[in-house]
Amino acid sequence: MKKIVISLYLIVVTLNTSCAQEIENKVSEVENPPFTAELFIDNLQQPWGLNFMPDGAILVTEIEGKILYVKNDIRTEISNVPDIYRRGQGGLMDIALHPKYSENGWIYFTYASEGEGEEKGGNTTLMRAKLKDNALVEKQLLYKATPNTTKGQHFGSRIAFDNDGYLYFSVGDRGDRDVNPQDITRDGGKIYRLNDDGTIPTDNPFVNSEDAKKAIYSYGHRNPQGLVKNPETGEIWNHEHGPQGGDEINIIKKGANFGWPLITYGINYSGTPITDKTAMEGMEQPVHYWVPSIAPSGMAFISTDMYKGMKGNLLVGSLKFQYVENVIFENNKVVKREKLLPEIGRVRDIKEGPDGFMYIAVEGKGIYKLVPNK
């Protein structure tokens, strides 16, 4: 019976013509890789996010609750980190610098926290702070998703700033797909937009909707672990984990519904269908989807000429297959996928450094610098 269900599902996907693109299922093997991965920071267990300081240091988060300041091969653990709710996929997650960090010193990070109240469990939280004497100071809680839950899945969470200085961050559906993603009065399964101080922009799409979470910018997401500004267009792009199949790349739009779980190109892990619909009126189609899933985490556009012929491409980490995927676009349609660094490990984050090199965080190993091959 399972084989029949899966076969019928694949037929539905194959016949569907409403998708923004026809899926490219094959990822090409590259005979002459464009770069070599050189270990830059070693001995990291579960690095989740990384970012670059103006003084040349790198900030690295580890999911267990550490922020490391690494410069000239010397690593310093930052103190006064908030209490972390460590459960399942939740812990200390992404980290980002304010676009005007050199002027104001603000560092932003997402993490799972218990928060106040009697609700057991935790949920995704956004905080900002400044760094002084290797400690976080002036900590400000900007957003705490509710309610808490003891479920260990789908916390998200990534941070990105747009060209106007608005802050975007993601929260997964927290394992409650039938309630959270489609309900704008609830947190979970959303991309949020805030002013840099945590206040709500007056032009957010649901500021005038009764009982809505005013910070929501888009909804109908599953577990977004990629969020980045396209340097050419200024658009905010995300990717998110599907179930079995149906990982997605999306261009985030104001007030848009991205459909989860009412539409999806994935199925349950048991092999049963979630829905027979891959498209519905009023719901966005992905720019690209993966079947089978690659379990994407971390993403970055290449904006420099450091890597010959790759400017404008999107690098995506694969947790499941343990490689870096080079996604090549033409007019926002995927025309080719390439598997780079096969068996490098579980790639958790990817960032372009101020030096123009790409850096990747790999679980159980550390941070690699991608050095172009001659």
- Can you tell me the mean pLDDT for 55-68? 98
In the numeric block, the tokens 């959303």 are attached to: 190
Nearest to 38 by CA among 346, 314, 275, 344: 344
pLDDT for the residue 47: 98
Cα angle, residue 49 at apex, residues 295 and 293 outer, rounded to 5°: 5
> Tokens at residue 203, please?
């032009």
CA distance 345 to 322: 4
pLDDT for the residue 25: 63
Q: Is the pLDDT of residue 26 over 90?
A: no
CA distance 18 to 258: 14
CA distance 279 to 100: 40
What are the structural domains, with CATH classification, of the chain? 2-372 (2.120.10.30)
The residue annotated as part of the active site, out of 154, 221, 239, 241, is 154
CA distance 334 to 221: 21
- Can you tell me the mean pLDDT for 228-247? 97
Q: Is the pLDDT of residue 213 over 70?
A: yes
Q: Is the pLDDT of residue 321 over 90?
A: yes
pTM for the model: 0.93
Is 154 a known active-site residue?
yes
Q: Is the pLDDT of residue 19 over 80?
A: no
